[in-house]
Amino acid sequence: MSLPEFQLRRPKTLAEAVSLLAQTDGIVQVIAGGTDLIPSMRQRLFAPSELVDLRGVTELRGIRQSAEGLEIGALTPLAEIDRNEIIRRDYPVLAEAAHAVASPVLRNMGTIGGNICLDTRCLWYNQSLAWRKSCGYCIKKDGDLCHVAPGGTECWAVFAGDTPPALLVLDAEIEIAGCDATRRVRLADFYTNQGDTRMKLGSREILTRVFLPRSTRGWRGAYRKLRVRGSIDYPLAGVAVALRMRNGVVENAKAAITALNPAPLLVSGIEEQLAGKTLTAVLAETVGALAANTARPLTTSALTPEYRREMVRVMAKRALVEVASCGSR
């Protein structure tokens, strides 16, 4: 399967990239690692007239400690995040989530920025043009039907990135550069929770940096991923938990889920349930139930929605117990 035709732009600096985006007419698409976009272009899910390849913008690559915490360039490969000593020590839930992405070779290519901006996925959507024609297309691309929520007018394709739930529990912020201004938003405010629009990023904007605050530095955490294969797969459900403990008592805690809704979502009510308490099996069950209640899976993947929701409950519970029990800091 060939790729659609496009003009290729290869900026060397962020300024150049942003001005290229501003000048370009027609449908423009930014590409970083390409691990999701290139196959999707083969399937004609994207057919930009201009492709702006960011791989040459080296200033957007790298991990730096700063006064406010940690700064990660959006083009930093997931493999680098996985093996970075600072992240492993200070923000372990992110290292674990990065490690869970796809496979080693794909982690060498895929970037943190790309993982945050990942397109939503659905078995009725991530198919070839010929396949989608045979199902009458869908609301997300080329059609007006939703096959998983018949009669619905919204897209329920799921966000299936592994690192965003980890970033959410770490209270990450992101920086977005446009031609006129640079803005900074909480990651939690970035997503729309709609499968088609998915995120608040203009087509002329670039996600440039990820900031991890000092406030969550040193939080213990874990990421659990439901997958059939031990490698390669996108998550069928995922949960990240992170918490700070003192003397066996939970001070702060957060949980976020992925691959169940059109956006990665923080699970609300966790802190209220856990703060000031010693973790018990009953509390862990409660947190699991909260995570499951946040999940709205539909038949977007091969495993049934019921099972995926059940698993996010189990995974949240187990992750929490494991994190709370592995020695206090």
Partner 1 sequence: MKKLLITLNVNGRDVEFACAPNQTLLDALRLDLRLTGSKRGCDDSSCGACTVEIDGEPMLACTLLAAACEGQRILTVEGIAEHGALAAIQKAYGEWGGAQCGFCTPGFMIAVHSLLEQNPDPSEEEIRAALSGNLCRCTGYNQMYQAVKAAIEAEKAGRRAL
Partner 2 sequence: MNEFSVIGKPVALVDSAGKTTGQGKYTDDLSMPGMLIGKILHSPLPHARIVGIDASRALALDGVVAVAVGADAPNKYGILPVGHDETALAVDKVRYVGDNVACVVAESEAIAEKALELVDVRYEPLPAWFDPEDSMRAETDLLHEQRPHNIEKEYHHAFGDPAAGFAQADTVIEGRYIANEVTHAAMEPHSTLAAFEIDPQTGRPGRLTVWSSTQVPYYLQHKLSIVLEMPMSQIRVIKPLVGGGFGGKSEVIPLEIIAAVAAREARAPVKITYTREEVFWAHRGRPRTIVDLKTGVTRDGKITAVAAKVIQDGGAYCSYGVVTILYAGALLGGALYQIPNFQYDGYRVLTNKPACGAMRGHGTVNVRFAFEAQLDEAAQRIGMDPVEIRRRNLLVPPCVTVNGLRVGSYGLPECIARVAERSGWSERKGKLPRGRGLGIACSHYVSGAANSIIRSDMPHSTVNIKIDRDGGVVVYTGASDIGQGSDTMVAQIAAETLGCSLGRVRVVAADTDLTPIDIGSYSSRVTFMNGNATLRAAQAVKRQIAEAAAKRMNSTPEDVIMRGDRVWNHGAYGDEGPGAVEETATIAASGRVEGQILRGSVQQKRAEECPKDRMTFEEAVVAAIDFHGALGGSGSYAPPVEARGGHYKGSGVGPSPAYSYSAQVAEVSVDEETGVVTVHKIWAAHDCGRALNPVAVEGQVIGSVWMGLGQALEEELVWKDGLLMNPGLLEYRSPSAAESPEIECIIVESVDPEGPFGAKEASEGSLAAAIPAIANAIHDAVGIRLREAPFTPERVLAALRAQRPEAKKVRLAGNVDPARPATFREHGGSLCHGGRGPARHPLDPAVRRKSAAGSASKREDDAR
> Interface residues with partner 2 (CB under 8 A)?
1-2, 5, 103, 123-124, 127-131, 133-136, 144-145, 147-152, 228-234, 298-299, 302-307, 310-311, 314
Task: Give the interface size with partner 1 as a residue count (CB under 8 A).
Answer: 31
Taking CB under 8 A as the criterion, the residue among 38, 130, 185, 326 binding partner 1 is 38
Helices in the chain by DSSP H: which ranges? 14-23, 37-42, 78-83, 85-90, 92-100, 104-109, 112-116, 129-134, 163-169, 270-274, 281-294, 305-325
The CA-atom distances, in angstroms, between 41 and each of 1, 2, 3, 105, 110 are: 10, 9, 6, 20, 16
Taking CB under 8 A as the criterion, the residue among 24, 44, 55, 269 binding partner 1 is 55
Q: Which does 248 bind (CB under 5 to 8 A by kind): partner 1, partner 2, none?
A: none
- As measured in angstroms, the least distance from the Cβ of 175 to partner 1 is 24
Taking CB under 8 A as the criterion, the residue among 5, 144, 180, 306 binding partner 1 is 5
74 or 236, CB closer to partner 2?
236
Q: How many CA atoms lie within 13 Å of 130's alpha carbon, on the beta-carbon side?
A: 1
**Do 179 and 18 form a contact (C-beta atoms < 8 A)?**
yes
Q: Give the dihedral sign, CA 281/282/286/288.
A: positive
DSSP 129-159: HHHHHHTT-BTTBB-S--SSSTT--S--PBP
Beta bridge partners of 51: 8, 29
**Do 117 and 198 form a contact (C-beta atoms < 8 A)?**
no
107 or 309, CB closer to partner 1?
107
Q: Which two tokens stand for residue 254?
A: 């957060």
39 contacts partner 1 (rule: CB under 8 A): yes
299 contacts partner 1 (rule: CB under 8 A): no
51 contacts partner 1 (rule: CB under 8 A): yes
3 contacts partner 1 (rule: CB under 8 A): yes
Q: How far apart are alpha carbons 194 and 269 in whole angstroms?
A: 22
Q: How far apart are alpha carbons 273 and 205 in whole angstroms?
A: 38
Beta bridge partners of 121: 158
Binding mask 126-155 for partner 1 (x = CB under 8 A): x-x---------------------------
Q: Which does 144 bind (CB under 5 to 8 A by kind): partner 1, partner 2, none?
A: partner 2
**Do 211 and 75 form a contact (C-beta atoms < 8 A)?**
no
**Do 291 and 236 form a contact (C-beta atoms < 8 A)?**
no
193 contacts partner 1 (rule: CB under 8 A): no
Taking CB under 8 A as the criterion, the residue among 15, 27, 68, 104 binding partner 1 is 104
Q: Which does 150 bind (CB under 5 to 8 A by kind): partner 1, partner 2, none?
A: partner 2
Q: Which listed range, 97-105, 136-144, 303-311, 318-326, lies at the site for partner 1 (CB under 8 A)?
A: 97-105
In a 3-state reduction of DSSP, which class is residue 209? strand
- As measured in angstroms, the least distance from the Cβ of 3 to partner 1 is 4
34 contacts partner 1 (rule: CB under 8 A): yes
- List interacting residues with partner 1 (CB under 8 A): 1-8, 10, 34-35, 38-39, 42, 51, 53, 55-56, 79, 102-106, 108-109, 126, 128, 230-232
